[in-house]
Amino acid sequence: MESSARAFKENARAAVADPQLKRALSHVKEGFIGKRAKAAAKLPEFEVLRDAARDIKNHTLDHLDLYLEHYERKVTEAGGQVHWCPTAEDARRAVLEICRAAGARTVTKGKSMIAEEIALNDHLEANGITPVETDLGEYIIQLRGETPSHIIAPAVHLTKDLIEADFRAHHTALPPERPLSEPRQLVNEAREVLRDKYLAADVGITGANFLVAETGTSVIVTNEGNGDLTQVLPRVHIVVASLEKIVPTLEDVSTILRVLARSATGQECSTYTTFSTGPKRAEDPDGPDQYHVILLDNGRSSMLGGEFQDMLRCIRCGACMNHCPVYHAIGGHAYGWVYPGPMGAVLTPSLIGIEEAGHLPSASTFCGRCESVCPMRIPLPKMMRHWREREFERHLSPTGARAGLALWAFFAKRPALYHFVTGMAAPVLAALGRGRFRRLPLAGGWTAHRDMPAPEGRTFRQLWAGHRQGGSR
C-alpha cells in the first residue's frame, strides 16, 4: 500500500476537523473499552494468561527459523504448498500466478491486513481478476474505494447514514424505496448481495491469525463466518500470512486465543475459530482442492534480534488503538499506512522506514494505556521512544526541535548552571504569564491548541528542598 505517513500532520489536522469522523469514532471509546474491561474481569487468570501468551511468542521468535521449517514440512505433508515471499512484490506475484493457473475470474476475500500491506486488490484488478471483500466492514470500504481505518473494525470511521448511501448507490438492482436506515437492514442486504459471490468465486483468499508449526495449520478468528464461506466453497484456498504468525503447538494457540478475543472485542470467545490444514482430503465431501500459503517477510526478519523484536509478538487485536487518546481523536487513516494507532506507530517505521513514518512514533502522549492493555505485553511506549531516538540520531528531526534539545542538554549537563538559570527564570515567567501563556515563542505548536501553564515562581527543586525541611512552601 502507498504511504501518506509523511503527511501525518496534515492528515491529523483534517481528521480532527471532521465532525462525521468524530461521531463515528465515539463508538470506539464507548464500545471497546468497557467490553474489554468486563471480559478481563470475568476471567481471574487473565493477567497470568497475558504473561503466558507473551512467553510463548518470545520463545517462538527466538526459534523462528526452526518453527518455520517444521511448519512448512507439515503443510507439505498435508498436501499444501508454502510460497516464501521476501517482499510484497513477491507475494503479489505468487498470488497472481496461483489465480491465473486456476483460471480465476473472481476471488472472494476474508479480512487480511497482510493483503492490505501488499496492496493485493489493486494488483489483482490491474490483472483482470475481480477481488470481492466479504467481511462486512471490508466490503463497505471496498465500495467506497477506501482502506481500513482499524485493524479489526475496518469501517469504524463511518456512520450508518454514510453506509446506507453507499449501498443505495451501488446496489442499484434493488428497489430504491426499500428501508435501509437500521444496521440490521444493512447487514441483511450485504448478506444477500454477497451470497452469490461466494458461490461464483474460483479462489478464496483469507489471512491468518496464527500458523501452527505442530500441524501445518492456518487459523482464522472471525465473527461473521465470511472467512469460512470464502475458504470452503471455491476450488482454491490461498492464505496470506506474515512469518511472525507462527506458534509452536495447538496448546500454545489455545492460550493466546484466550487473551485475543477478550482484548479485541471483549468476547469470551469469537464466534468462529477455524483451523485449516492442507486441501480437502480424498474422502471429504467439500472443501478446496488446493491450499497455498503465501508466507511474507517484507522486513520482519530484520526486526528479529533487535530492539523491535517485541513488536513481532503482536496478535493484531486492536486493543492499543481502542484505548489510545490520539487514535480516538484522529482515527486510523491519518496514520497514512496499513497499521494505525500505537502498534502502527512502532511497526510502520520498521516496515517502511523511519524516513517515511517519522511522525508516527511522535504521535503519542506516552500515557501508557496501550501497553497496559496489550495482551502480549508489548512495551509500545518504550519502542516509540527508541524510534524517536533513532530519528534524532539520524538527523531526521526538524531543526527547531534539535536546537531546543541541544540547548536543554547544554544546561542539563551542568546541574549548577541549570539550577541557577531556572531559579532566575521561574519568577520572571511567573510574573509575565499570570497563570498561563496563550502564546510562546518557539512553542507555537503547543500554544496553538492549548495554553501553557506558567511556573508559579519557584522551581521544583526549590519546592522539594523546602518540603524536605518540613515547610510545605
Residues numbered 217-246 forming contacts with other proteins, rule: CB under 8 A = 217, 223-226, 228-229, 232-233, 243
Binding segment (CB under 8 A) for other proteins, from list 117-125, 270-278, 405-413, 437-445: 270-278
Contacts with other proteins in 62-81 (CB under 8 A)? 62-70, 74, 78
**CB-based contacts of 180-186 (< 8 A; 24+ apart in sequence):** 186/160
194 binds other proteins (CB under 8 A): yes
| Distance (Å, whole) CA 375 – CA 7 | 31
Does position 269 interact with other proteins (CB under 8 A)? The reply is yes
Among 18, 202, 297, 356, binds other proteins (CB under 8 A): 297
Pick from 317, 318, 359: nearest CA to 341? 318
Smaller CB separation from other proteins, 86 or 415: 86
Closest distance between other proteins and the C-beta of residue 304, in Å?
A: 4
Handedness of CA 222, 34, 348, 248 (dihedral sign): negative
- Restricted to residues 11-30, the positions that interact with other proteins (CB under 8 A) are 24, 27-28, 30
Residue 159's closest CA among 27, 264, 34, 32? 27
Among 99, 156, 320, 346, binds other proteins (CB under 8 A): 156
3-state SS class at 109: strand
Beta strands 106-109; 81-85: pairing state = unpaired
- In the bound state with other proteins, the residue whose beta carbon lies nearer, of 150 and 359, is 150
β-bridge mates for residue 205, sequence order? 109, 238
Residues 88-117 that bind other proteins (CB under 8 A): 90
Sign for the pseudo-dihedral over CA of 306, 312, 318, 319: negative
Closer to other proteins by Cβ: residue 138 or 371: 138
| Calpha distance 383→376 (Å, rounded) | 14
Q: Which residues pair with residue 5 across a beta bridge? A: none
Rounded Cα gap, residues 89 and 298, in angstroms: 9
| Residue with Cβ nearer other proteins (299 or 433) | 299
Q: Does 473 bind other proteins (CB under 8 A)?
A: no
Binding-site member from 58, 106, 273, 447 for other proteins (CB under 8 A): 273
Residue among 1, 85, 118, 319 that touches other proteins (CB under 8 A): 85
List 126, 165, 169, 199, residue binding other proteins (CB under 8 A)? 199
Per the listing, cell 501508557 goes with 368
- Does 283 engage in binding with other proteins (CB under 8 A)? yes
Q: Which residues, 303 to 332, sit near other proteins by CB under 8 A?
A: 303-306
Instruction: Please tell me whether residue 155 binds other proteins under the rule CB under 8 A.
Output: yes
C-alpha cell at 276: 485449516
Cβ proximity of 111 and 154 under 8 Å: yes
Among 277, 348, 364, 459, binds other proteins (CB under 8 A): 277
Question: Is position 159 an interface residue for other proteins (rule: CB under 8 A)?
Answer: yes
Residue 40 interacts with other proteins (CB under 8 A): yes or no: no
Please select the residue that binds other proteins; options are 10, 89, 122, 268, rule is CB under 8 A.
268
CA distance 139 to 171: 12
Number of Cβ atoms within 10 Å of the Cβ of 362: 15
Q: Is 10 or 45 the residue whose CB approaches other proteins more closely?
A: 45
Three-state DSSP state, 249: coil
